[in-house]
């Protein structure tokens, strides 16, 4: 199976898609009155690049055994994935309005049994790379040529299970597996709990750590990029393809900004999750170049 994008999506088109995706995130969460903002927005440029230029997929055949697999291990960012799946044609954009409601196919965290295009359920942080390694190992054993991609958060990277998968993937030479780390420098809470109940240290969980050296030491190919620069993202994908016979998995360390694209959400833990007011929606719409009638649809 080959990518069904006959022509490459241009950078200008990717920018428009990412802006639309960001708008769908913030508007949908406002409508459902609960959901995550910062993580979906930091990942959006990577997600549209994957779904519009890289993954060998066919939205009309979401269960095709030959398709590339994508696992959103940081499952709390589901609305970002749903927005991109809808833009890519897996289901109608109007369905986003059902997000997080009982009976909806679009639950607050991805459910592979419900949503077309979701290859693995997620939400309990730390598990996606192990699932991806298992899929990649099965592909090797079956002689299947598809590639498996996993996106993780930098807070999520603190989970011990991730490092078991990092070790295993190299040991079994899973060069058909790629991890993308969304290095937005923020998670949800920090530690320890202060007297007033705040969990205050929300600083970059990996400050002072040489992550490139760590992954290199585990025997992975390491590619570091700005996760908002489409040409750098594409160059990283090209390096993944070039490493397909290297016997090494690849990690893309993508430096990003949490809340990217909406001024009041950028670079703050306060918009890890949150519901925008009509006034904030108007600001977001203007900044993202989207039409807004005055209230969430």
Footprint of ligand TPP on 28-57 (CB under 6 A): 38-39, 42
The distance of closest approach from Cβ of residue 23 to ligand TPP in the complex, given in angstroms and rounded to an integer, is 19
In the structure encoding, which two tokens stand for residue 280, read together? 């904030």
In the structure encoding, which two tokens stand for residue 175, read together? 């060069």
Task: State the residue number with the nearest CB to ligand TPP.
Answer: 153
From 2-10, 186-194, 214-222, 284-292, span contacting ligand TPP (CB under 6 A): 186-194
The distance of closest approach from Cβ of residue 35 to ligand TPP in the complex, given in angstroms and rounded to an integer, is 12
Specify the residue, 45 or 156, whose C-beta has the smaller distance to ligand TPP.
156
In angstroms, what CA-CA distances link 153 with 44, 59, 100, 124, 222? 13, 26, 21, 12, 16
What does the binding site for Mg ion look like in residue numbers (CB under 5 A)?
153-155, 184, 186-187
Footprint of ligand TPP on 234-293 (CB under 6 A): 258, 272
Distance between CA 276 and CA 172 in Å, rounded?
45
The distance of closest approach from Cβ of residue 28 to ligand TPP in the complex, given in angstroms and rounded to an integer, is 16
From 9-17, 62-70, 148-156, 169-177, span contacting ligand TPP (CB under 6 A): 148-156
Pick from 45, 100, 111, 156 the residue near ligand TPP by CB under 6 A: 156
Binding mask 105-144 for ligand TPP (x = CB under 6 A): ------------------xxxx------------------
- Residue 186 within binding range of ligand TPP, rule CB under 6 A: yes
**Binding site partner of 128, from ligand TPP, Mg ion, none, Cβ cut-off 5-8 A by kind:** none
Specify the residue, 69 or 74, whose C-beta has the smaller distance to Mg ion.
74
In the structure encoding, which two tokens stand for residue 49, read together? 């690049």
**Binding site partner of 45, from ligand TPP, Mg ion, none, Cβ cut-off 5-8 A by kind:** none
Q: Which residues bind ligand TPP (CB under 6 A)?
A: 38-39, 42, 74, 76-77, 123-126, 153-156, 182, 184, 186-188, 258, 272
């Amino acid at each position: 199976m080959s990518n069904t994008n006959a022509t490459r999506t241009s950078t200008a088109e990717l920018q428009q898609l990412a802006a639309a995706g960001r708008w769908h995130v913030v508007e949908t969460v406002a409508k459902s009155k609960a959901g995550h903002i910062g993580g979906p927005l930091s990942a959006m440029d990577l997600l549209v690049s994957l779904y519009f230029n890289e993954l060998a997929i066919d939205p009309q055949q979401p269960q095709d055994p030959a398709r590339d697999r994508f696992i959103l291990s940081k499952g709390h960012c589901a609305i970002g994935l749903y927005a991109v799946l809808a833009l890519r044609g897996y289901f109608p954009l109007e369905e986003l309005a059902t997000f997080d409601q009982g009976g909806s196919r679009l639950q607050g965290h991805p459910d592979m049994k419900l949503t077309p295009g979701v290859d693995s359920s997620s939400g309990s942080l730390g598990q996606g790379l192990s699932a991806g390694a298992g899929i990649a190992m099965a592909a090797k054993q079956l002689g299947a040529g598809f590639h498996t991609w996993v996106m993780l958060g930098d807070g999520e990277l603190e989970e011990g299970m991730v490092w078991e998968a990092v070790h295993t993937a190299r040991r079994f030479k899973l060069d058909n597996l790629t991890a993308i780390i969304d290095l937005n420098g923020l998670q949800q809470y920090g530690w320890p709990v202060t007297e007033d109940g705040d969990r205050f240290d929300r600083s970059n969980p990996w400050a002072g750590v040489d992550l490139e050296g760590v992954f290199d030491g585990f025997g992975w190919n390491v590619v570091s990029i700005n996760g908002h620069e489409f040409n750098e993202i594409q160059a990283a994908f090209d390096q993944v393809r070039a490493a397909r016979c290297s016997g090494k998995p690849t990690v893309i360390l993508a430096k990003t900004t949490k809340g990217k694209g909406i001024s009041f959400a950028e670079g703050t833990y306060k918009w890890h999750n949150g519901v925008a007011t009509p006034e904030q929606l108007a600001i977001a719409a203007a900044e993202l170049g989207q039409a807004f009638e005055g209230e969430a649809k």
